[in-house]
Structure 1
């Protein structure tokens, strides 16, 4: 028995499984294994993204892949070209916030970076000035799917993708956003529950997905949040989705290549060891709880700044965490399902087990329905 949906057939994949990742090797490996690897563009410069997508296309061996960009509806935006943008935005950061960060780093005994080493100063793809070049590069590589998060893609991005015959997907956290995305011309809606890693809303997956499916009246929906095995994939299909959008499960794969200390942090984390916090980006994002994150949650702490100012405020701290091996402070975006991940495995093994587990779950449902198919 195989698993197939109209959307998986349209995308040219063997299993209705989409994997979001910021690691090109993971995206390529998922696509090779029969799913759709989607590379997150956020952390790449346009030049880096060009190289990364060329790598994915080459290593995927002709299998389809996708790209995700961030197009926030609300963020601190200033009138400046990309060269001057970071400098102008950094000038907007209050001194009190800078003082607080230095105070906490001193308390945690995190030394400065060595002389001559500087943290990255880019703004990532969180503004119109930086997101547009990423979109241009992404579409140049003719992905099988172009997706966005934190708001509807710009109309010109949707039109450019459609002109190339590329379907557009967008992530949502509530049904009103799903309707807005559909009306903007988005082809596929990813209904992402609050359990998911990164930027999420407040509605759980099992509540959100059927709401979105019903509201969109036949438009394809992918379910996201809390899905890390075949039973989760089968549940997504049972809720009316045409596949699953996954993320956290790929963090603990060999191809991801996380430092051993970060892998152990994730292996040790339980489902209650994650929380939605604005400490990372300025918008609520689910991540592993650390003492650094807890300090930002303290009511006595200055409120996190708007996106992308919070990233610019903390970029030096995060660079210092990485350089000095303080993975106990740096943490990682992760969904609640991290509590069920107990080993570092190859991507191909994860995909194969998700496919087999989903097929077994569907067989059990058929048997329970009394059609005589054994589990």
Structure 2
């Protein structure tokens, strides 16, 4: 599994593990892969604490940080004086309150206006300015990569990383996006197919990766539908230098995935996910649930808001839904879900993250051996008579 990416980042395996859980990031890095911490959930102060924790446990081994910088946001975010929570229309608040009543989840307004200061701070983390603050914190640590999702890395972010000698990665869903990202300064492209969890486009990994490899002159990682060594071998055969995985870590021992959601993932098939705007305001693949069904199909649904307003509305509600689900509330359990890709159909057991990395390496070797066994090394000359 030694590729140019291994040399570039000083890792044993070209397996990049995206996770919001510091334990997963540290475990994968210590197993010879490259952990990447999703930073959007953290304030700058909390991110600093999380990275200090990782630094203490990885012994100088490389890891990275991922920030969310959409190319387009709701225009209300552009006004620094705007109170994001107050920008959520009453009819959307009412719809969430209706869902909570319908499914027996009691409580107050899921996004009270009194929480607007907290909501503003959270919402602005997905702006260039907010992400820049997280990048500043990250670059004070010995990180090996900064990744930008949903849009070209802002020039300030690229400049900061360049000055610190840290490569910049960017996630893309089309060839055109890949070209734009490289033009904006990305050193590494993650070509993410539609089967991936979280924010995705509409082109599958098998189709997207070779097209992106042919279109750009920087290394490419394949993402979407990758959870074992056979899929890693396929990604390298398509021309990728490595893989970027997210879903496979959600069912590991270290993952912070709520137990109810983890059980749903372990029982799910690959048909049990849906691309929906109901969680963030942008199309994101996640477990199909009562939440996605009501937002996307119910006649009374007002439709999702743009990012970041839908994110604020959904995450505030999901916090209470999660607590109720863990207490045994069956209605909350129907509503509960999380971002995950179609590869969830393969995730049927709980393993340590380190074991996942080592299993990938063993499965990769077996897949390559099978491929070599069916390769015709010497073919007889065709009879052209």
TM-score range, shorter chain: over 0.9
C-alpha deviation, 1:343, in angstroms: 0.5
Distance 1:57 1:240 in 2: 32
Q: Name the counterpart of 2:255.
A: 256
**TM-score normalised by L of structure 2:** 0.90
Q: Name the counterpart of 1:54.
A: 52
Distance 2:287 2:345 in 1: 10
Distance 2:281 2:297 in 1: 15
C-alpha deviation, 1:259, in angstroms: 3.0
Distance 1:79 1:172 in 2: 24
Matched, 1:315 2:310: no
1:364 pairs with 366, 370, 374, which one? 370
Deviation track 1:292-322 (CA, whole Å, cap 9, x = no partner) reads 1100111622120000010122233212102
Structure 1 unmatched runs, 5+:
none
Matched, 1:107 2:107: no
Superposed, which structure 2 residues align to 1:271-350 within 5 Å?
271-298=270-297, 300=299, 301-325=301-325, 326-350=332-356
- Larger C-alpha radius of gyration, 1 or 2? 2
Q: Name the counterpart of 2:382.
A: none
Which secondary structure does the structure 2 equivalent of 1:275 belong to?
A: strand
Q: Name the counterpart of 2:171.
A: 171
Q: Is this contact kept in 2: 1:18–1:246, CA < 8 A? A: yes
Which secondary structure does the structure 1 equivalent of 2:368 belong to?
A: helix
- Runs of 4+ off more than 4 Å: 117-120
Distance 1:261 1:287 in 2: 15
Distance 1:157 1:128 in 2: 8
Matched, 1:268 2:263: no
Q: Name the counterpart of 1:126.
A: 126
Distance 1:135 1:215 in 2: 28
Of 141-150 and 257-266, deviating more is 257-266
Which secondary structure does the structure 1 equivalent of 2:7 belong to?
A: helix
Distance 1:259 1:183 in 2: 39
Q: Is this contact kept in 2: 1:142–1:164, CA < 8 A? A: no
C-alpha deviation, 1:100, in angstroms: 1.2
Distance 2:298 2:104 in 1: 23
Q: Is this contact kept in 1: 2:258–2:322, CA < 8 A? A: no
| RMSD after superposition | 2.0
Q: Is this contact kept in 1: 2:15–2:243, CA < 8 A? A: yes
C-alpha deviation, 1:80, in angstroms: 4.8
Deviation track 1:23-52 (CA, whole Å, cap 9, x = no partner) reads 000000000000000000010010010011
C-alpha deviation, 1:327, in angstroms: 3.6
Distance 1:183 1:292 in 2: 38
Deviation track 1:256-301 (CA, whole Å, cap 9, x = no partner) reads 1433222111111110100000000000000001111100111622
Superposed, which structure 2 residues align to 1:127-206 within 5 Å?
127-206=127-206
Q: Is this contact kept in 2: 1:57–1:65, CA < 8 A? A: no
**TM-score normalised by L of structure 1:** 0.93
C-alpha deviation, 1:370, in angstroms: 4.2
Which secondary structure does the structure 2 equivalent of 1:321 belong to?
A: helix
Q: Say how many residue pairs are matched.
A: 364
Which secondary structure does the structure 2 equivalent of 1:66 belong to?
A: strand
Structure 2 unmatched runs, 5+:
326-331, 379-385
Q: Is this contact kept in 1: 2:143–2:166, CA < 8 A? A: yes
